[in-house]
Amino acid sequence: MSDEHAEIDPALAALTSAWRAMADHPCDDHRHALEIRLAGLRETLGAHLEHEETVVLPLVQRVMTEDEMAGVELAIQKGYRLRDTPFMIGWVTDGLPPAALERFFAFSGGPFKLLYAVVRRAYARREQRAFRHADLLGTAVSP
């Protein structure tokens, strides 16, 4: 998994450079370079997520107790910055059906439900803006 994660950051950096080049000098060459970098990142992330979701997380769920998993979650949360909280709440809840959303609030507590009410519309607007042209790149994404 760490090898897979080590491939993601360089792919993101290459995509960022391609976006900057396109912004500085929009032309077919830069657009093609951007498409190549985006396809590379999509492939890298897709392979990683498939491995994580189909192999790693099911294995973790089989071998770790709830208390051990809660400890892992707390350790992961220490890496989050407070300013990332509105995005994280929007991201975690994005697309959840009502019953799952209520289970999330029951688990996370009242403050998260209140924060969700405050950030959900702004999160939805940012997602819409971020993915508004996704279908132009050959992959339709619905926010």
Q: What residue ranges do the domains of the chain occupy?
A: 1-78, 80-143
pLDDT in tens, 40-74: 999 999 999 999 999 998 999 899 998 998 888 88
pLDDT in tens, 75-95: 888 888 888 888 889 998 999
Nearest partner of 101 among 122, 80, 120, judged by Cα = 120
Distance of alpha carbon 54 from alpha carbon 19, whole angstroms: 32
Q: The pTM is what?
A: 0.57
> Please, where are the H alpha helices in 25-109?
28-51, 57-63, 66-77, 85-93, 98-108
Output the average pLDDT for the chain.
87
Looking at residue 138, its pLDDT comes to 52
Looking at residue 125, its pLDDT comes to 92
Looking at residue 119, its pLDDT comes to 93
Looking at residue 66, its pLDDT comes to 87
Looking at residue 74, its pLDDT comes to 85
User: Could you identify the residue written with the tokens 């360089």?
Assistant: 10
30, 81 contact by CB (below 8 A) = no
Looking at residue 37, its pLDDT comes to 92
| Length of the chain (residues) | 143
Assign 142 to helix, strand or coil: coil
